[in-house]
Amino acid sequence: MQPREDAMSTLVEPTITVGEPHFGRLTPRMAAWREELLDTPQSVCVERAMLTTETYRIHQDEPMVLRRALMVQNVLEHMSIFIEPATLICGNQASANRAAPIMPEYAMDWVIAELDEFDSRPGDRFLITEDAKQQLHDIAPFWEHNTLKDRGLSLMPPASRTFYDLGIIHPEGNITSGDAHIAVDYGRVLREGLAGYRDRTEELLTRLDLTDAVQLKKSYFYRAVLITIDAVVTFAHRYADLAADLATTEPEPGRRAELTEMSRILRKVPEQPAETFHEAVQAVWLVQLCLQIESNGHSLSYGRFDQYLNPYYSSDLATGRTTPDQATELLTNLWLKTITVAKIRSWSHTRFSAGGPLYQNVTVAGQTPDGRDAVNPLSYLVLRSVAQTRLPQPNLTVRYHRGLSDEFMAECIEVMRLGFGMPALNSDEVIIPSMMSKGVAEADAYNYSAIGCVEVAVPGKWGYRCTGMSFLNFPKTLLVAMNNGADPKTGTPLATPVKHFTDMTSFDELMQAWDVTVREFQRHCVILDSACDIALEESVADILCSTLVEDCLGRGKPIKEGGAVYDFVSGLQVGIANLGDSLAAIKKCVFEDRTVTAAELWDALATDFAGERGAQIRQLLDAAPKFGNDDDYVDTLLVEAYGSCIDEIFAHTNTRYGRGPIGGRYYAGTSSISANVPQGASTMATPDGRRAGEPLAEGCSPSHGADTHGPTAVFTSVSKLDTERITGGVLLNQKVSPAMLRKPEDRAKLVMLLRTFFNRLHGFHVQYNVVDRATLLDAQAHPERHRDLIVRVAGYSAFFNVLSEATQDDIIARTEQTL
């Protein structure tokens, strides 16, 4: 999904609120802390870097898994800790909130190269002190030719490396940071405590026959697990001590009692099983945090939060230990903690993940394993608390299913009305059968959760990156196919030459060239993915994460060596709609209507539609059928062309194939995050009329402004895609005007629209952005970019573009009031 980049900087309280907001307000202390966090600039913390370097220097001789465990131990035992005055739960990722730790073992080249620009980037700025820069310079030599990225690059075969160097295939995130894109089994952590995992590991370790080399190798992993568990427990106890110390000097009796209780809780969890809601939330947070200290991969997700935590909430409610308001405050506290976690990425990767998102997903609703509606009182509290904090994190996903009540959906729409793009809806109706068809057990399929944004996996049983492997730029692939297999910009040969577009005499020849080229490109994706995966497996195992994912302990190896029960991955195909629109425009203008010759089109693309003829050609291309309008002309072309790539994707396996997990395979995925922007920036003009450098379409959404027939047509077009095989996520972002959400009867119709999409058309995902004032102002200034923008009044709806300026002004003014 496209996170709301501006959410952090432009959050304002509703200007007109008659009475209380629907979801109530944050408690004063959480409100004040939220403001403080929003005012806190992002910065860089070097503690993790220095402590890691220290461990790696001393323990270069240790097996990699033990070195990783000792690193986590050193960091958790020695990093700075603090307890904020407002918080009820403890755990900080770095020496300050919103400070990103540098994790040198993944990559240091970009850190050093970009050090002086961290605080002057065009976006995602990070403050850094001169002292911190010096410390990083000091450790840099140790990491030369000694990082994950170095290893990954050297493992890339030369022919595939070209694709990386030219930016056609983008696995940057995979070798400059850790994996993540995973949810662990928090339910089990709460039920058994880490002590339960420790007992199991000790038992397994004692049973090993170390004369067997395979078992000897397992012993290193088990010892690493024990070190890591103890490190997390020590970390918790450090907070218990700190809270107790603070309590002794705390003058205010209420806060003193809280600190005393926090100290008690952290002495107990996450080591021992949780018994109260407060204990459970604390345990989840501490583990969620440690996983993000161990690795800086993102999309580390909470899983089915309402399911595993509701027993603790319900029981506390029954015994009077908590109230809904107290529980809500605790949840908002957790979300504020969630937003303190930061990640700094290389500038080239930042552009693929604008807004510094960590994509820590919380999933609610869905069904129980026996197919009943799983909504419980805590599901409502999650909506309420997320609505109160109104922050880009956590990423909230609601699992839709046929039996989801209108009442709960109405609450979801109330959250949407707040205009921060949440919740996303994922549909059980297509995801569960799709998983089961790939060999996932029924009970597990019913227990899936969203990971990061739109992608899905079974928490605690699934390996990393159910999506998030390489990004493949579809329009650029098409241009190479048209250019006889060579990169149009550099002339570098990239694929088997078929024929140059200007020599093609039929549309079928183009489809043939596309088929050859995209299959070859996809094979390079797999090669690059595997090179990265080998490097990750050999260099940076995550011991804590592996401990909490079945069946790593049973198999005695980390996730990356095949420890997970399931291990399916997907890359990200970017520019889906541009591909369909380009093919349709070529077919229509060049081969059917013959209004443009192939040579003219190629020239127009090369010159970015320069000159009068260029402009004419662009207009002709614009007028061709576009994806998102329920027009089979273009929709079927897209399905066929994407199908070539998907066939190839399904032909390949990942590095865990045959090593334990069910799967070890690929499927397709489209959750392009913000990759559509940089990938568009490096792509010349395309035959859909898109100008050079303009963003590509996001996910499976229609190209910007191309869907002029309303949401039912968009849903129907998207539903024609091969959703069954795009398990990595069929991402669809939709806009809705606030007026559409003002009246209950209209909101009810939106629910009907969604139910049709999911129940009847096998929709996978949809997320609504409420059109805000800024968008309307932009539409007024640049109508060509907002051809799809529909506004409504009772009995009438109209495209925004055709309204007079005065009427547009009126709508803009009223939009501000609603939000």
Which positions are annotated as active-site residues? 453, 455
* CA 735 – CA 722 distance, rounded (Å): 23
Distances (CA, A) of 545 to 185, 257, 456, 553: 10, 34, 18, 11
Choose which of 35, 199, 212, 784 interacts with another protein (CB under 8 A).
Answer: 784
Question: 94: left (phi > 0), else alpha (psi -120 to 50), else beta?
Answer: beta
- Residue at 380: amino acid letter: Y
Choose which of 630, 635, 698, 707 interacts with another protein (CB under 8 A).
Answer: 630
* CA 317 – CA 312 distance, rounded (Å): 8
Q: Is the peptide bond before 423 cis (omega within 30 degrees of 0)?
A: yes
The distance from CA 738 to its chain's CA centroid, rounded to whole angstroms, is: 26
* CA 410 – CA 747 distance, rounded (Å): 7
Smallest distance from another protein to CB 424, Å: 21
CA nearest to 307, candidates 378, 387, 221:
378
Binding positions for another protein, 567-596, rule CB under 8 A: none
Q: Within 341-394, where are the H helices?
A: 347-350, 377-389
* CA 672 – CA 37 distance, rounded (Å): 28
Q: Is 636 in the site for another protein (CB under 8 A)?
A: no
Residue with tokens 């799983």: 374
Binding positions for another protein, 348-367, rule CB under 8 A: none
The distance from CA 286 to its chain's CA centroid, rounded to whole angstroms, is: 21
- Choices 57-65, 136-144, 587-595, 789-797 (CB under 8 A): range interacting with another protein: 789-797
- Choices 19-27, 254-262, 684-692, 788-796 (CB under 8 A): range interacting with another protein: 788-796
Q: Is 752 in the site for another protein (CB under 8 A)?
A: yes
- Choices 97-105, 334-342, 564-572, 747-755 (CB under 8 A): range interacting with another protein: 747-755
Smallest distance from another protein to CB 743, Å: 9
Choose which of 716, 734, 775, 818 interacts with another protein (CB under 8 A).
Answer: 716
- Choices 32-40, 210-218, 334-342, 744-752 (CB under 8 A): range interacting with another protein: 744-752
Q: Is 18 in the site for another protein (CB under 8 A)?
A: no
- Choices 68-76, 570-578, 655-663, 785-793 (CB under 8 A): range interacting with another protein: 785-793
The tokens for 763 are 């929709």
Q: Is 430 in the site for another protein (CB under 8 A)?
A: no
Q: Is 347 in the site for another protein (CB under 8 A)?
A: no
* CA 303 – CA 282 distance, rounded (Å): 16
Mode of pairing for the β-strands spanning 300-301 and 424-427: unpaired
- Choices 227-235, 568-576, 586-594, 757-765 (CB under 8 A): range interacting with another protein: 757-765
Distances (CA, A) of 38 to 8, 97, 292: 7, 11, 21
Q: Is 720 in the site for another protein (CB under 8 A)?
A: no
Q: Which is nearer to another protein, 523 or 755 (CB)?
A: 755
Smallest distance from another protein to CB 811, Å: 9
Residue with tokens 């599901």: 379
Q: Which is nearer to another protein, 310 or 775 (CB)?
A: 775
Task: Identify whether the C-beta of residue 106 lies closer than 8 Å to the C-beta of residue 178.
Answer: yes
Instruction: Please count the other Cβ atoms lying within 10 Å of the Cβ belonging to residue 353.
Output: 21
Q: Is 799 in the site for another protein (CB under 8 A)?
A: yes
Smallest distance from another protein to CB 738, Å: 14
Q: Which is nearer to another protein, 278 or 618 (CB)?
A: 618
Choose which of 241, 814, 816, 819 interacts with another protein (CB under 8 A).
Answer: 814
Instruction: Please count the other Cβ atoms lying within 10 Å of the Cβ belonging to residue 594.
Output: 9
Smallest distance from another protein to CB 604, Å: 19
Q: Is 804 in the site for another protein (CB under 8 A)?
A: yes
Q: Is 318 in the site for another protein (CB under 8 A)?
A: no
The three state secondary structure string of 266-287 is HHHCCCCCCCCHHHHHHHHHHH
Smallest distance from another protein to CB 815, Å: 13
Angle at 521 (CA atoms; ends 163, 352), nearest 5 degrees: 55
Burial class (CB in 10 A: 0-12, 13-18, 19+), 414: middle
Q: Is 625 in the site for another protein (CB under 8 A)?
A: no
The tokens for 163 are 């694709």
The tokens for 351 are 């552009």
Q: Which is nearer to another protein, 470 or 703 (CB)?
A: 703
Burial class (CB in 10 A: 0-12, 13-18, 19+), 647: middle
Q: Which is nearer to another protein, 616 or 653 (CB)?
A: 616
- The neighbouring-strand residues paired with 455 are 451
Q: Is the peptide bond before 551 cis (omega within 30 degrees of 0)?
A: yes
Q: Is 755 in the site for another protein (CB under 8 A)?
A: yes
The distance from CA 657 to its chain's CA centroid, rounded to whole angstroms, is: 24
Choose which of 40, 756, 780, 816 interacts with another protein (CB under 8 A).
Answer: 756
Q: Is 712 in the site for another protein (CB under 8 A)?
A: yes
The tokens for 621 are 């291309």
The distance from CA 169 to its chain's CA centroid, rounded to whole angstroms, is: 18
- Residue at 319: amino acid letter: T
- Choices 84-92, 238-246, 537-545, 792-800 (CB under 8 A): range interacting with another protein: 792-800
Number of residues forming the site for another protein (CB under 8 A): 36
Choose which of 135, 146, 616, 759 interacts with another protein (CB under 8 A).
Answer: 759
Q: Which is nearer to another protein, 504 or 789 (CB)?
A: 789
Q: Which is nearer to another protein, 695 or 763 (CB)?
A: 763
Q: Is 486 in the site for another protein (CB under 8 A)?
A: no
CA nearest to 255, candidates 372, 3, 83, 493:
83
Q: Is 711 in the site for another protein (CB under 8 A)?
A: yes
Choose which of 134, 212, 760, 774 interacts with another protein (CB under 8 A).
Answer: 760
Smallest distance from another protein to CB 750, Å: 9
Smallest distance from another protein to CB 773, Å: 17
Q: Which is nearer to another protein, 215 or 807 (CB)?
A: 807
- Choices 96-104, 286-294, 355-363, 793-801 (CB under 8 A): range interacting with another protein: 793-801
Q: Is 787 in the site for another protein (CB under 8 A)?
A: yes
- For residue 117, give the 3-state DSSP assignment: helix
Smallest distance from another protein to CB 605, Å: 22
Smallest distance from another protein to CB 748, Å: 9
Choose which of 127, 713, 777, 819 interacts with another protein (CB under 8 A).
Answer: 713
Task: Identify whether the C-beta of residue 686 lies closer than 8 Å to the C-beta of residue 475.
Answer: yes
Smallest distance from another protein to CB 585, Å: 18
Angle at 561 (CA atoms; ends 559, 562), nearest 5 degrees: 65
- Spell out where 197-343 has E strands: 300-301, 303-304
Q: What backbone phi and psi angles, to 5 degrees, belong to 312?
A: -70, -40
- Choices 277-285, 534-542, 661-669, 796-804 (CB under 8 A): range interacting with another protein: 796-804
Binding site for another protein (CB under 8 A): 630, 709-713, 716, 740, 746, 749, 752-753, 755-756, 759-761, 783-784, 787, 792-799, 801-804, 806-807, 810, 814
